[in-house]
Structure 1
Amino acid sequence: MIVDRFRVDGRVAVVTGAGRGIGAAAAVALAEAGADVALSARSEDQLGEVAERIRKVGRRAAVLPADLSDPAAAAELAGRAAGELGRLDIVVNNVGGALPRPFLDTEPEHLENAFQFNVANAHALTRAAVPFLLEAGGGAVVNISSVMGRVGGRGYLAYGSAKAALAHYTRLAGFDLAPRIRINAIAVGSVATSALDIVMSSDELRGQMEAGTPLGRIGDPEDVAAAVVYLASPASAYVTGSVLRVDGGIDAPNLDLGLPDL
């Protein structure tokens, strides 16, 4: 049956930024689809809660705290995950981000930090994972990019540039890793995670974002988690080097940061 192609039974995934939000939802979704999951983020307490959710669906979970702002720590994660769970088949590079800033307040180091956190770290983990993925017979990598990597808007210079780089990294790596390893990305729109706490607590701001989204709502982490399962599973066996939009249909920022002209 076609639904069986969405299963990842007996496979092992590593998910970064897995303590909450999209990372936690993706980790649990992969477990529900049959995978054992290695979880990494700074907060061990949050990871422990996600691990319990995974164990409740009958899968193994490994809690691997790490400061993933450091590419060296990201690179070590592949071996730690394989060592704890016996193999590695799926990598989900979810950790990332950068604060919005006006153009003149965006220093060169803000760009450098954004590229390291969003692109260099994803590369470090993916590169270190390749031998384990090949040993397991191939594998899948899923990068979490953003709608801001393809649309324009004030205040998102560092974040949008880094996410655009991650999207194109994915396209280029698709050639480098084929045919045994697939790599794809998800361009995520506005999703109800802790990053949007201010928006979700304000009827005015939430209404503005919903009105600016063709589907009329802010996304749920499970919307992205479902796409992660698709791209990590045999259901997407003929897909690589692609960027899947999970953004509610937006083609422009749906929140005005109110930054004035120079």
Structure 2
Amino acid sequence: MILERFRLAGKVAVITGSGRGIGAAAAVGLAEAGADVVISSRTESDLHEVAARVADAGRKAHVVPADLSDPDAAAALAKAAVDTFGRLDIVVNNVGGTYPRPLLETTPEFLEEAFRFNVSTAHALTTAAAPAMLTAGGGAVVNISSNMGRIAGRGFAAYGTAKAALAHYTRLAALDLAPRIRVNAIAVGSVVTSALEIVAGNPELREKMESATPLHRLGDPEDIAATIVYLVSQAGAYVTGKVLEVDGGLQAPNLDLGLPDL
């Protein structure tokens, strides 16, 4: 049956930024498909809540509280997976993000920090995980990019540049790691997570964003989790080096920060 291709029985996954939002949904989704998971974020209490949901799905979660803005901390998650579960098959590089900032207030240091958090961390974990994946017979990596890495909006110079770099890193890494490790990315649109609470909690702003989105709704974390399950399972076995746009059909930003002309 075709559904068998989506199953991940016996697989082990590492998901960064998995205390809430997309990372939490990905951890639970992968567990529901059959995988055991290593989950990590700064807030340990969030991780234990996610671990309980993983247990409800019948799988095991290993909790690793860490500051994943440090690439070394992210890289250490690969060893944690092998030490705990004996193997590593899947990496979801979800941690990332950067606050919007006007261009002339975007210092080189702010830009470099955005690159480090969104790209260097993903690279550190991917390269640390690759040997374990090869030992296990192969694997799959999913990088969480953003639609702001392909469309332009004022205030997103640092964030958009970093996410665009992550998207192209995906293509380059996929070529280097083929054929045994597949690497893909998701260009995420406006998904209702804690990062979007200030907007989603304002009915007027939310209505404007939904109206500017072709599918007339904001995304759910489970929309992204379902795409991750596809990409890392045998259902996506013939896909690598691709950036899937899961954004409700956006071709332009659906939120104007109101930054004036100079």
Residue in structure 2 matched with residue 35 of structure 1 by the alignment: 35
Q: Percent identity?
A: 71
Deviation per CA, 1:1-23: give whole Å up to 9, x if none. 11110111110000000000000
Paired residues for 1:139-178 under 5 Å: 139-178=139-178
1:15 aligned counterpart, secondary structure:
strand
1:38 aligned counterpart, secondary structure:
strand
Looking at structure 2, the residues matched to 75 and 174 of structure 1 have their Cα atoms a distance apart, in angstroms, of 18
Residue in structure 2 matched with residue 98 of structure 1 by the alignment: 98
1:204 aligned counterpart, secondary structure:
helix
Matched, 1:2 2:5: no
Residue in structure 1 matched with residue 205 of structure 2 by the alignment: 205
Deviation at 1:74, TM superposition (A): 1.0
Deviation at 1:79, TM superposition (A): 0.4
Looking at structure 2, the residues matched to 261 and 83 of structure 1 have their Cα atoms a distance apart, in angstroms, of 54
Deviation at 1:216, TM superposition (A): 0.1
Looking at structure 2, the residues matched to 212 and 34 of structure 1 have their Cα atoms a distance apart, in angstroms, of 37
- Are the aligned partners of 2:78 and 2:128 in contact in 1 as well (CA < 8 Å)? yes
Deviation at 1:250, TM superposition (A): 0.3
2:218 aligned counterpart, secondary structure:
coil
Residue in structure 1 matched with residue 69 of structure 2 by the alignment: 69
Looking at structure 1, the residues matched to 69 and 214 of structure 2 have their Cα atoms a distance apart, in angstroms, of 34
Matched, 1:107 2:111: no
Deviation at 1:203, TM superposition (A): 1.1
- Are the aligned partners of 2:38 and 2:77 in contact in 1 as well (CA < 8 Å)? no
Q: Could you list the structure 1 runs, at least 4 aligned residues long, displaced by more than 3 angstroms after superposition.
A: none
2:65 aligned counterpart, secondary structure:
coil
Paired residues for 1:1-262 under 5 Å: 1-262=1-262
1:184 aligned counterpart, secondary structure:
strand
Normalised by the length of structure 2, the TM-score is: 0.99
RMSD: 0.5
- Are the aligned partners of 2:12 and 2:87 in contact in 1 as well (CA < 8 Å)? yes
Count of aligned positions: 262
Looking at structure 2, the residues matched to 171 and 133 of structure 1 have their Cα atoms a distance apart, in angstroms, of 18
Gaps of 5+ in 1: none
2:39 aligned counterpart, secondary structure:
strand
Normalised by the length of structure 1, the TM-score is: 0.99
